[in-house]
Amino acid sequence: MAHATFTAEGQTMESFRLLSGHKIPAVGLGTWRSGSQATHAVVTALVEGGYRHIDTAWEYGDQEEVGQGIKRAMHAGLERRDLFVTSKLWCTELSPERVRPALQNTLKELQLEYLDLYLIHWPFRLREGASKPPKAGDVLDFDMQGVWREMENLAKDDLVRNIGVCNFTVTKLNKLLGFAELIPSVCQMEMHPGWRNDTMLELCRKNNIHVTAYSPLGSQEGGRDLIHDQTVDRIAKKLNKTPGQVLVKWGIQRGTSVIPKSLNPDRIKENIKVFDWVIPEQDFQALNSITDQKRVMDGEDIFVNKTEGPYRSVADLWDHED
Ligand code: NDP
Ligand code: 1BO
């Protein structure tokens, strides 16, 4: 359920209510592979674009730059309480005793007192120094329950306002729901018209878990070029919008928050201008009917070791659910 609020430049900005009662702005800026340009992108998004939601992760190696961008935006007049900042616990930190130090390091890099949302980045534990693809012994046992307890403790101690997961399957989410004292507020997953991820969306809806759609434009190099997809392009032309805007709006109309990444100031501002129009039902259904459904972010290069395991194929990673 979206709630309208107002932000910069008189632009309407929608948000979704989380189980915790907090609100997550419907569009956030993704920062993967933003490197040293992350500061400029974050300032552009927050100060000029009217964004209030930033998505980062320790693994992106740009938390310091993101933090500098947030700091500059706050010097320009934004209040911390108006921002929604997400980061993620990397796979090498997936053991109970490593969770709190990892969060503390993330807060230090971001120069923040708390996060709005802390997510388990991937549900696979890696040995520090693991290779890509992993060698034998690089992928370790993951104590999901122990790690989740520590995530819950971070929330109890007000170091994070919400906790959640990314890249979970039905099997893994049901397992977590079996022992969670704090239900995840958010499940972040790949989602765009080329990978609708309907089964996970449905499970999250049933459990009142908000979904954030990552790689909403089909991701970056090596991804899926949805910007030039015929259906997307036809609808964009018809609505006098850009393909990027149609892809972002599609996610919002499905009730998910959406976190497009861009380093280009014009595209950053374009991607959030999605609140005073709708994709008509017929066009929405056409986007829901794009064939060749396929993940871009299948995790193969990080977690699959075809001969040694424990995950010998992409299907293993996703619990044979695709
Ligand atoms: P996106 O789907 O957001 O696509 C980004 C690409 O699209 C970039 O090459 C960007 O180029 C280009 N682009 C941006 N806006 C437009 C536009 N309006 N028109 C045309 N091209 C455009 O890719 P990501 O994979 O980065 O996903 C977004 C975010 O989701 C990530 O940055 C990260 O924060 C999060 N994520 C989370 C994951 C997880 O495991 N939890 C996994 C993957 C992503 P340019 O910069 O030049 O504009
Ligand atoms: C391996 C990190 C993918 C982007 O979240």
ipTM: 0.99
Task: Return the CATH number at 272.
Answer: 3.20.20.100
Nearest to 22 by CA among 214, 250, 274, 210: 210
Which of 29, 32, 124, when mutated, tests ligand 2's pocket best, judged by the most ligand atoms within 8 Å of its CB? Answer: 32
Q: What's the 220 CA to ligand 1 centre distance in angstroms?
A: 6
Distance set, CA 105 to CA 28, 87, 236, 314, 322 (Å): 22, 11, 42, 31, 35
- 264 CB near ligand 1 (under 6 Å): yes
Q: Decide which of 47 and 7 is more confident.
A: 47
- Give the percent of the chain with pLDDT over 70: 97
Q: Decide which of 8 and 240 is more confident.
A: 240
What pLDDT sits at residue 4? 61
Active site residue 118: no
- Rounded Cα distance, 267 and 249, in Å: 14
> How many domains, the chain?
1
Residue among 51, 60, 118, 311 flagged as catalytic: 60
| Mean pLDDT of the region 200-213 | 98
pLDDT digits (tens, 9 = 90+) for 77-125: 999 999 999 999 999 999 999 999 999 999 999 999 999 999 999 999 9
What pLDDT sits at residue 252? 98
pLDDT digits (tens, 9 = 90+) for 231-290: 999 999 999 999 999 999 999 999 999 999 999 999 999 999 999 999 999 999 999 999
121 is in an annotated binding site: yes
Residue 258: domain span: 5-318
Peptide bond into 96 cis (omega under 30): no
Q: What's the 34 CA to ligand 2 centre distance in angstroms?
A: 12
| Mean pLDDT of the region 202-222 | 98
pTM across the whole model: 0.98
10 pLDDT tier (thresholds 50, 70, 90): low
- 289 CB near ligand 1 (under 6 Å): no
- 261 CB near ligand 1 (under 6 Å): yes
pLDDT at 24 over 90: yes
